[in-house]
Amino acid sequence: MNNTDFVFIDTDSALAEMVTACLEQPAIALDTEFIRTDTFYPKPALLQIYDRRKIYLVDPLKINDLEPLKNLFNSPTTVKVMHSCSEDMDVFSRMLGCYPKPLMDTQVAASIIGMDFSMSYQRLVESILDKQLDKAETRSDWLQRPLTDKQLAYAADDVLWLLDVHDHLVEQLNVLGREPWMAEECDGLIARAEHPIPFDQYYLKIKAAWRLDAQSLNSLRSLCAWREEVARAEDVPRSRVVTDAILLELSRQRPDNKIALSEIPEIRYGTVRTHGDAMLAAIAAAEAVASENYPPAMLPTGNLEARTALKSMKQAVDNAAKNLKIPEALLGRRRDLEAYLFATDSASQLLGQGWRARILAPVLDPIVSIYQAPSKS
C-alpha cells in the first residue's frame, strides 16, 4: 500500500461502514489535521485512520453525524495508536467530547525503550523503518476544500507507517519488561485530558510567577482565571486577551482605576477599553481575599539550599536514566524536581507516582529530607 491508496470519507453512511470495519481490528493508527492559529480551540479539518487494510481520510466538515466515531474511540478491544497526541486530544474534546481508549502513543513508547525524548514522527519512521517522509504540507491550509493531492498524500503518510512503528515498539517494550510503564503513561495522557487543571491553577504556568510575593501571586491567580474564562468564551488565544508579561505587571502594581491601569507598560488602549473593567474586578476580588488564603509561595529556586538540593536531585535522576538507558527528560525534568522538592504531598507529584516513584524515591527522598530538615526542627 502507498499513500495514494486511501478512501475519502465524507458521508454519514461511509463513516458508519468505516467504523464497523475498524472495530474488527485489534489496533488502528489515528491522526488529525487541524488549524489553531487565531483561536483558542483547534478547528478540526481531517481525521486519518489506518486499519492495516485501508487508509481512511475522514472529512469532519462534510459529515453531519460523527457519533459512530465515539463507538470506535470507546471500544476496549481496539487500541488507538497515535504519535504525540496531546494536541489531538484537544481536537477530540472539541469534535467528539471523548478520547480514544485504549491509547498507545508512539512518541512516549520510543523514549521508554531508550530512543530520543520527544522524537518527531518522521524521525521515528526513518529510524525504525528507514523510510523518508515528506513534511512539506505541515503548515498548509487544512480547512480549504478541495484538499490538494499533496495534502491528501501527506495526511495518509501520517498513519500509513504508524502501525509498523507500533509493532516494533511493542516488541521492544516486551523485551525490556516496560509494558507497565507504557500503560501508566498512556493512562496519564487520558487522565490529564479528561481532568484539566482548574482555572485558578493556571497562574502556575506563568514562567516568572515565582518572583512575585504572596499578595501579588494572589492577584495573578485571579487574573489568570479571568483570562482563561475570556479566552475560552471568545475562542481567542490567551495572548490575544492579554499577555503573560502584562498580567505579571498588573499583579505587581494592582491598579484600582482605569487611569492607573492604562499606565501599565505595554498595555494597549484597546485592551483597557475592552477588558479594563473586568481586569480591575479580578484584581479587586483578589484584594478581598484574606492573607491566610493566598496561594502558597512559589518555588524558591534562587535560594542556595534549594539550588544545591536541586543539583543533587538532577544528578540522581541523570544517573538513574543512564543506568536505565532512557532520556533524562522522560524520568524527570527540572519542573518535576522542583515540584517534588517543595511539595507538601510528594505522592501527588509526577515523580511520586507509579514507575518513576519506584525508581526515584530511594535516591531523591534522602536529599529532600536533608533540605526540609531545618524547617521541621
Within a domain: 310:
yes
Helix (H) or strand (E) holding 34: strand 27-35
Instruction: Note the pLDDT of residue 374.
Output: 56
CATH number at residue 246: 1.10.150.80
Instruction: Note the pLDDT of residue 376.
Output: 42
Which of 273, 293, 313 delimits the end of a domain?
293
More confident residue, 370 or 67: 67
Structural domain containing residue 145 = 6-194
The reply to whether 13 and 141 lie within a common domain is yes
The helix/strand/coil state of 190 is helix
The reply to whether 222 and 164 lie within a common domain is no
DSSP H helices, 28-74, are: 67-74
Instruction: Note the pLDDT of residue 210.
Output: 85
The reply to whether 242 and 272 lie within a common domain is yes
Which of 158, 173, 194 delimits the end of a domain?
194
CATH number at residue 80: 3.30.420.10
Instruction: Note the pLDDT of residue 16.
Output: 98
- Give the model confidence (pLDDT) of 113-125 as tens digits: 999 999 999 999 9
Within a domain: 1:
no
Q: Which of 276, 284, 244 is nearest to 258 (CA)?
A: 276
The reply to whether 27 and 174 lie within a common domain is yes
The reply to whether 161 and 215 lie within a common domain is no
The reply to whether 82 and 129 lie within a common domain is yes
Instruction: Note the pLDDT of residue 339.
Output: 85
The reply to whether 23 and 167 lie within a common domain is yes
Within a domain: 298:
no
The reply to whether 30 and 175 lie within a common domain is yes
The Cα 290–Cα 376 span in angstroms is 26
- pLDDT of residue 300 exceeding 70: no
Q: Find the mean pLDDT for residues 229-255.
A: 97
The reply to whether 49 and 121 lie within a common domain is yes
Instruction: Note the pLDDT of residue 302.
Output: 63
Mapped to the 3 state alphabet, what secondary structure does 81-106 carry? Answer: EECCCHHHHHHHHHHCCCCCCCEEEH
In the DSSP assignment, the letter for residue 193 is H
Within a domain: 34:
yes
Which of 266, 293, 320 delimits the end of a domain?
293
Backbone angles phi, psi at 41, to 5 degrees: -90, 145
Within a domain: 370:
yes
The reply to whether 163 and 251 lie within a common domain is no
The reply to whether 50 and 143 lie within a common domain is yes
- pLDDT of residue 377 exceeding 50: no
- Give the model confidence (pLDDT) of 260-271 as tens digits: 999 998 899 999
Sheet holding 55-58, edge to edge: 6-9, 55-58, 43-50, 27-35, 79-82, 103-105
Give the count of domains, the chain.
3
How many angstroms separate the Cα of 269 from the Cα of each of 3, 260, 265?
A: 51, 12, 11
The helix/strand/coil state of 41 is coil
Q: Find the mean pLDDT for residues 63-69.
A: 97
Bond prior to 102 in cis (omega within 30° of 0): yes
Q: Find the mean pLDDT for residues 167-183.
A: 98
Instruction: Note the pLDDT of residue 162.
Output: 98
Percent above pLDDT 70 for the chain: 96
- Give the model confidence (pLDDT) of 101-117 as tens digits: 999 999 999 999 999 99
The CA-CA-CA angle for residues 50, 53, 55, to 5°, reads 35
- pLDDT of residue 346 exceeding 60: no
